[in-house]
Structure formats: C-alpha cells, structure tokens
Amino acid sequence: MSSTQVVLGIDIGGTNTAFGLVDEKGKCYLNDQIQTDRHSSVESFLIKLFEAFNLQFEQIKDDFELIGIGLGAPSANYFKGTIDNPTNFSWGYVDIVKLIQTQYALPVVVTNDANAAAIGELKYGAAKGLNNFIEITLGTGLGSGIVVNGSLFHGHDGFAGELGHMIIEDKGRICNCGRRGCLETYVSANGIRRTVFELLSIYSVESCLRDYSYNSLTSKLIYEAALKNDEIAKMAFERTAEKLGKALANYVVLLNPEAIVLFGGLALAGDQILGPLNHHFENSLLNLYKGKVKILLSSLMEYKNAAILGAAAIIWEEIHKKSRDLQMQVIT
Amino acid sequence: MSSTQVVLGIDIGGTNTAFGLVDEKGKCYLNDQIQTDRHSSVESFLIKLFEAFNLQFEQIKDDFELIGIGLGAPSANYFKGTIDNPTNFSWGYVDIVKLIQTQYALPVVVTNDANAAAIGELKYGAAKGLNNFIEITLGTGLGSGIVVNGSLFHGHDGFAGELGHMIIEDKGRICNCGRRGCLETYVSANGIRRTVFELLSIYSVESCLRDYSYNSLTSKLIYEAALKNDEIAKMAFERTAEKLGKALANYVVLLNPEAIVLFGGLALAGDQILGPLNHHFENSLLNLYKGKVKILLSSLMEYKNAAILGAAAIIWEEIHKKSRDLQMQVIT
C-alpha cells in the first residue's frame, strides 16, 4: 500500500501552538493544539508538543510518510534556524531547528509568521500563480512577507519584510522598537485603538466608544461601532486606511508587485478597511503603476487552520528547493 | 587565431550617447560617443550610432567576436525592450530592441540607467560578490537599481526600483511626477539646490550662495561652498543626508540588504555627504540592523566609462542567464 507524503506544520503563537499534518495540496489530516504559555523552557514545550502529536500520529502513521517539519514563530530567523528572544515568552535564544532535529532526522525549517502566511498564500490561497507580491499580516502588530520571483525573500540575513517598522511619521507615535512613527503604531489592532483615543481627544462628537477604557477597547468593538455608523469608529478606519494606503504606494515604487494581500484580524473588517484603502492607495500611486496593482484579501483565512497551512507551505517550498538545487548540482 | 568575446555597451544620455566594446572582465577595447540630442527620430539616431561604431570596429573586428548588445537608457523597460517617452527626447514610444535586432542577429537588452549601474557595480565595482544591495544613482534626479539574490530585480512589469519617487514628506515639494514630497525633490542635484533656496529664505546668515540665481546654481558650486565652510551649503548637505539616511533606513526594513552603494554626481561630494549620511542612517535604523548595513561609494566612478560598463554588464548577465536557463531545460 502506498503512503501519502505529508509534512508537519507548526504555528507557535503567544498563547497557543497549533499543529497539523498537511499534504502537498493543502489537505490537512490531523490537527490539534497545545498551550504555549504553560512552558517556561523550550525543552518542556517541545516534549509536550511532540507527545501530543505522536499520540494522534501513532493511529494513522501507516498511511503516511512524514517528510519534513515547518515552523512559523515570532522572532524566527530562517537562515540560523533560531527563535531569538520572542517578546511573548521567556525562552531566550533558541536553536529550535537543531533541537527538533535531535529527535527527527528530517528537513526542518523555521520562519516568522508573516513569511509563513505569504508562502501559504502562494501555495494554497489568494496568491496562487503570482510571482511578486507582499503579504501583510494585520494582528496586534503589522508583519509582512515578501515574495519575489516566485520565492520567499529573506534578505541578507533573514530579516527582510519588516514593513511594520517602516517609519511613516517623523516624531510620530512611540513604538515598542524604541523608535517613533512606525507604520504598526498606526495600522494594526493596537494602532487603530490608539487612533480612536486620539480622535476621542480631538473631537467632541458622541460615540459609543467613549464608554470603553483603553484596556477594554478591541479592534472588533471598533469594527462593530463602524458598522453602526459611529463617526469616531468610521473616522478611525478611514485614517488607518489612509496611512496603510500611502505606505503601500511607497512599497510599490520599490518592488513593483502585482498584488498586495491582506491577512489577519483587521483584514476581516472587509469593506470598512478595503473601500478607503483602495481609494488612498490608488490616489497615492505613481502614475506608472495606477490601476495595475491589486489589493486582495487573503483566502487562507477561510481555512480554520490558516497558520498551520503557512507553516506547512514553508517546508514544502524548502523540499522542492532542495530537489531543484540537487538537479542543478548534477549538471554543473 | 582565437578571438575575444565582447559585447557592445551603449549608454543613451540626454545629451550624449557613449558606447564601447567590453569583455567579460570589464576590459574596454573601443569607446566613443555621439550626440543624442541632434536626432529627432530614433531611426536617424541609430544609423549615426552604428556608423560611428562600425567605423572603429572594422579595423579590429578580426580579433573579436561580438556576442550581444546592452543598452542603458532613461524610461527603458527591460521586459518589453522599449524606451517609453523619455523626458529629454522627442522619440515617443520606441521598440528599441526590435529595431536593433533588424540589423544585428544578437541578444539585445535594454534597461534603465540605474539598473545598468547596479549590474555594473555587481560585476566590476564596489558590489562584487554581494547578493543583496541597492544602487542609488544621484544625478539630476534619484534613480535606483535593486539586486536581490545576486540578480537584478525588475518587479512584475519592469518598473521596480523607483526609490526617487518614494514619498517622504506629506504635502512636500512638488515633483515632476505630479505628486508631492518624493525623495528626489530633496535628494538629487536639483533637490539640494531647492534646499539651498529654502535655507536662504529662512536664515539671514551670510552665504556666497546668495550671489547665484536659481538657474545658475549647481550642486558643484554648493559642494565648493561647503568645503569653504559656507554655513548654508553645509546645512544643505546635512539636510540632504538626513532625508536620504531616513529613506534608506526605511528601505532596509523591507529588503534587509547587505549594502547600499551610492553612484553619481552628489556621491562625488564624498565626506560632505557620507559623514552626515552614515550618522542619520545608523540613527534611524531598527535595532536589528544597526551596524550591519554598509554604505559604500561606487567604485565604477573611477572608470572614465562607468555607464558603458553598466550597459555592457546587463548584456553579460543576460547571456549567462540564458545559458543557465538552457541547462535547466536540459534536465527538466
């Protein structure tokens, strides 16, 4: 009986870590999750993770051949195979690829969440068939993964695609990175909350958002208020879209992509963000590019397990790249 | 007797067009120029150009094998092989690769001046051995050529690398492109002249630059004034460097290059620009990149014929790419 080749995709998040077995076409055969934040050391985390995985894999393993493991994680470095002092856990600097390979003699690769989302989008989502695009992940912060000439672009030492830290406002909002005016201080779940508080301080118009403390206000609440035509909430989306539209237009003059794909929480706000975003983006573009660059919503988000698909996609891409490189070596 | 393989590099400028025969190692065997602006049609320009070339080539052609032609030109599109309404001539939309190939059955390729400079730098200059860098050409305007993973990056339809049109100032200076606040309105020979005039209007300090009309002021005069410690001139360099440093730091978060190479007029100002540029660049960088990205001066500029070398380099790169692609086809 022939077995199906699959990879293990692992998405390490601040609270939970999700994992699943994924075949080449994106079909998911097993998926589950464990809590990330229960583990103060990466070693105990990995023991728990592979215990949970093996428990399920044991029952079906005769039908599958596991050929690689892909991880999406915050502060990950693709070239070094490390996770370097992630903000949300106390693991320090972790040689995660090496740690996993002591247990699994397989190709293992790690990259950050936004890169994983970009490759997931390319392989299974809205970017299928595209060669040059950027994936913007809108969560607590703003991440990005850049695809050039059909492959993920890592840059010189693995840190390309930090669009969230493009400075868009001289002497602007204080950013966690220690600088001021970074895009993600305006465009992210946290950024739009800051914008609401700025607007509440400037205008005296009625708003249901005046009933929330800073800590209790979420981007979901802002979205719901906008749907009910709350002026402050609508203005907040408009301003967020303006900042993002202008930043993306600046991105286009550099890399001339065919599309920009939006993924994550804020992107779920649909027309509230897409309408004004398209307007400001087109308005800000250099003539040369007008009407040529599409802004798309991720179609990965339709999957319950989008992040697992992303993590799986990066190891599939790696396996294919290895086989191409091998072919090249044969002929040179 | 074996003949040396050479390519013809042609640099089409607004006033003059320079050309030369260049071997793989960058040795130049013949070079000359004709006037570009004498020709109101591209056809008469090409006749004159190849007349001038053949006159010289006839005498040495037994020693050489011409295997390709590379062109650097304003408003050129690599994918289409065209020059599209260059600002400085009245040629309109020109299918230049096709036109040349009616006379020469050879690989011909065209790209814009900044891309040609980037590939020239990679093959013969300060970027030898680098895989990820950006070449900034500082002339009347500001151009850029992006090298990723060791190759020139063209983007989706050939228009990547328009760094000069990154908007750095909301409601900033009017740009020829019809928008406002583009980097090249601040950082270029023309940009620094505008800065001098802004500074003369703000400050009342003595300056030898108060004796020049706008039309008579050149960046060379500003440079000479700065060397004599003219305050306005020094402030102008400082401000130019600040704008460029901040823009380059924003470029780094996207593409994580290993170096940035400066080419052209303003780059010749050496320490007047490099000193404050390094300061503002490092200060503006996200921590992650601090101390890791070098700013280099082009070493192509030491050649009298830097632009010819660039144009030659793009066709050499093309010829190598074709041979790699052919090898790939053999194995797939």
Mean pLDDT of B24-44: 90
Output the pLDDT for position A92. 86
Using CA atoms, how far apart are residues B204 and B231, in angstroms rounded to an integer?
11
Residue of A nearest to B158 (CA): A256
Please indicate, yes or no, whether residues B149 and B22 belong to a single structural domain of this protein.
no
Cβ–Cβ gap A153/B148 under 8 Å = yes
Q: Is the pLDDT of residue B174 over 70?
A: yes
Please indicate, yes or no, whether residues A29 and A168 belong to a single structural domain of this protein.
no
Number of domains in chain B: 2
User: What count of other Cβ atoms lies within 10 Å of the Cβ of residue B148?
Assistant: 24
Output the pLDDT for position B187. 97
Cβ–Cβ gap B284/A157 under 8 Å = no
Please indicate, yes or no, whether residues B130 and B106 belong to a single structural domain of this protein.
no
Residue A234 in domain:
yes
Output the pLDDT for position B290. 96
Output the pLDDT for position B308. 92
A53, with CB counted inside 10 A (0-12, 13-18, 19+), is buried
Please indicate, yes or no, whether residues A193 and A227 belong to a single structural domain of this protein.
yes
Please indicate, yes or no, whether residues B134 and B107 belong to a single structural domain of this protein.
no
Please indicate, yes or no, whether residues B75 and B211 belong to a single structural domain of this protein.
no
The answer for residues whose C-beta is within 8 angstroms of residue B13's C-beta and 6 or more apart is B36, B307
Please indicate, yes or no, whether residues B204 and B103 belong to a single structural domain of this protein.
no
Please indicate, yes or no, whether residues B95 and B138 belong to a single structural domain of this protein.
no
Please indicate, yes or no, whether residues A216 and A72 belong to a single structural domain of this protein.
no
Domain around B103: 4-111
Residue B236 in domain:
yes
Which segments within A73-166 are labelled E, that is strand?
A: 76-77, 82-84, 93-94, 108-111, 133-138, 142-148, 151-152
A171-227: pLDDT as tens digits: 999 999 999 999 999 999 999 999 999 999 999 999 999 999 999 999 999 999 999
Residue B331 in domain:
no
Output the pLDDT for position A331. 59
Give ∠ CA B18-B22-B28 in degrees, rounded to 5: 75
Shortest Cα–Cα distance, B29 to chain A (Å):
31
Residue A305 in domain:
no
Complex prediction ipTM: 0.90
We report the CATH number of the domain holding residue A221 as: 3.30.420.40
Average pLDDT, chain A: 92
Nearest to A257 among B155, B161, B331 (CB): B155
Residue A309 in domain:
no
Output the pLDDT for position A117. 93
Please indicate, yes or no, whether residues B216 and B184 belong to a single structural domain of this protein.
yes
B223-282: pLDDT as tens digits: 999 999 999 999 999 999 999 999 999 999 999 999 999 998 778 788 888 999 999 999
A97-127: pLDDT as tens digits: 999 999 999 999 999 989 999 999 999 999 9
Cβ–Cβ gap A167/B284 under 8 Å = yes
Using CA atoms, how far apart are residues B212 and B197, in angstroms rounded to an integer?
10
Residue A279 in domain:
yes
B79-114: pLDDT as tens digits: 999 998 776 678 889 999 999 999 999 999 999 989
Residue A118 in domain:
no
Cβ–Cβ gap A255/B155 under 8 Å = yes
Please indicate, yes or no, whether residues B166 and B91 belong to a single structural domain of this protein.
no
Please indicate, yes or no, whether residues B25 and B91 belong to a single structural domain of this protein.
yes
Cβ–Cβ gap B254/A249 under 8 Å = no
Q: Is the pLDDT of residue B302 over 80?
A: no
Output the pLDDT for position B1. 57
Output the pLDDT for position B331. 59
Band (pLDDT 50/70/90 cuts) for residue A332 is low
Shortest Cα–Cα distance, A130 to chain B (Å):
9
Mean pLDDT of A59-87: 91
- Spatial CA neighbour of A240 closest among A216, A221, A267: A267
B200-234: pLDDT as tens digits: 999 999 999 999 999 999 999 999 999 999 999 99
Residue B161 in domain:
yes
